[in-house]
A and B are shown apart, each in its own frame.
Chain A
Amino acid sequence: MSPARYTGTAIALHWLAALLILGNVAFGLYMVDLPLSPSKLRYYSWHKWVGVTVFLLSAARLLWRLSHRAPALPASMPPWQHKAASLSHGLLYVLFFAAPLSGWLFSSAAGFPTVYLGLVQLPDLLAKNRELADVLKVVHRGVTWSLAGLAILHAAAAIKHHVVDRDDVLHRMLPFIKPGT
């Protein structure tokens, strides 16, 4: 028997991750076009700190997901939507890790180690390499755009469930919103 909605922990982690991921994508897009200045260096560091936080948060969420049963999807959903939902959730998880990881690798290749919160230096998984940095920059951008795009699709689907299908899909993650009737 699966639960009717996600636990408080899962809900809190979900919305925190949503805020940090979308915020960091927007912040990343803003900061890259700034002329080089002390502020820009600060922003890059902050962007990386949020990225590391997203990585850790995603690891916590993955552990939660592996140790808990997710609420069942409405029986009224056609099978292709079940498949699409599980595929997009799986892909979202891949991107939760791929986005910060590609940023970390890009940063290492560009010669800037990541020092989380200015305190903990992460190991560089790659040596400084100009050509590789150019490639990883494009990879990081592609991965984060994919993540943002999929997150928007994910939100659009949830709203469609609430407004069009009038089922309890949105309610499972936003308990104060009553399921459509």
Chain B
Amino acid sequence: MRIAVLATLSVAAVLLAAPSLAQAPQKVALDKSQIRFGFKQMNVPVEGRFRKFDATVSFDPKKPEATKAEFEVEIGSIDLGNSDGETEAKRKAWLNVDAFPKAKFTAASVKAIGPGRYEATGPLTIKGVTQSVTAPFTFVEAGGLRTVEGSFGLRRLPFRIGEGPWADTDTVADDVSVRFKFVIPSPQ
């Protein structure tokens, strides 16, 4: 009798705990995740990425509207593949890393747009300027890992990325594409 009560209680405890565990925010696996960007200068495609970022995600594919996700990117971790470009990118006219070390995105609303496909909208803050962006993404769960992949476009000038002579878009285009891949452990 006592054993049966204990068993019932523990099953109940697991059942009660399960939903809250599913909602628990998860940290992304940095080594498997990527934030890349691309733009054109003199019509030459240039690619880069950020080495360091942090994301806390609470996402239930069945209830995307309940998503809570925050992303922080360390601007100083920019990787363009050459140090001249990186030194320049960190300067005042571009990303002004000293004054604005981090970029932030908060997924304020997430909705399903198809099977395994969603769309996140929210404020993106870079260099102290906030703009609303919408990023479609795919969601795949396999082998205890959730993979979120997507992309969005932004224009650099509204964020004042590239001021003064660099505002000339004939040399460095205004359009920047951002691609992301986040790998998050599946909730237990």
Contact = CB atoms under 8 A, between A and B. Distances in A.
A36 interface: yes
A41 B88 contact: no
Please indicate which of the listed interface residues B43, B44, B46, B47 has the most CB atoms of chain A within 10 Å of its own CB: B44
Contact of B42 (A45, A110, A128, A133): A45
B172 A38 contact: yes
Nearest to B162: A38
A155 to B, nearest CB: 33
Contact of A115 (B43, B80, B81, B171): B43
A60 to B, nearest CB: 26
Interface string B65-94: 000000000000000111111001000000
A42 B41 CA distance: 9
B158 to A, nearest CB: 19
A113 B83 CA distance: 17
A71 interface: no
Contacts of B81: 110-111, 128-130, 133
A37 interface: yes
B42 A118 contact: yes
Nearest to A46: B42
A113 B165 contact: no
B62 to A, nearest CB: 40
A118 B43 contact: yes
A114 interface: yes
Contacts, number: 50
B165 A112 contact: no
Contact of B84 (A36, A38, A45, A118): A36
A38 B171 contact: yes
Contacts of A37: 165
Interface string B155-175: 000000000011010111000
B42 A115 contact: yes
A45 B85 CA distance: 15
Contacts of B43: 115, 118-119
B82 A38 contact: no
Contacts of B170: 38
Given A36-B84, A110-B82, A130-B82, A42 B44 contact: no
Interface of A: 36-38, 41-42, 44-45, 110-115, 118-119, 121, 128-130, 133
Which 9 residue pairs across A and B have the least CB separation, nearest first? A111-B81, A38-B171, A45-B42, A128-B81, A118-B43, A110-B82, A115-B44, A36-B88, A115-B43
27 contacts: A38-B166, A38-B168, A38-B171, A41-B41, A41-B42, A41-B172, A42-B171, A44-B42, A45-B42, A110-B81, A111-B46, A111-B85, A112-B46, A112-B82, A113-B44, A113-B45, A114-B44, A115-B43, A118-B42, A119-B43, A121-B44, A121-B45, A128-B47, A128-B81, A130-B81, A133-B81, A133-B82
